[in-house]
Structure 1
């Protein structure tokens, strides 16, 4: 899946926090549990 860079300007700060949390969670998990995303993103 490719990221459409035109959409980046419309992402909120929370969206970036979730994306970053998913990337960090993928270091140890192929599929990142929602609870882990929530814990990392602190939303």
Structure 2
């Protein structure tokens, strides 16, 4: 489920890449989501 959320973040970032202001928000949020995903996976393993 977490991987699906990360994939949707990437898809929405790519689809909205023509809008500069939303993309300036989406890129850091996508990276933050990936960081949380990696941390949770490390804790669970």
The reply to whether TM is greater than 0.5 is no
Scaled by the length of structure 2, what TM-score is found?
0.39
Larger-Rg structure: 2
Scaled by the length of structure 1, what TM-score is found?
0.40
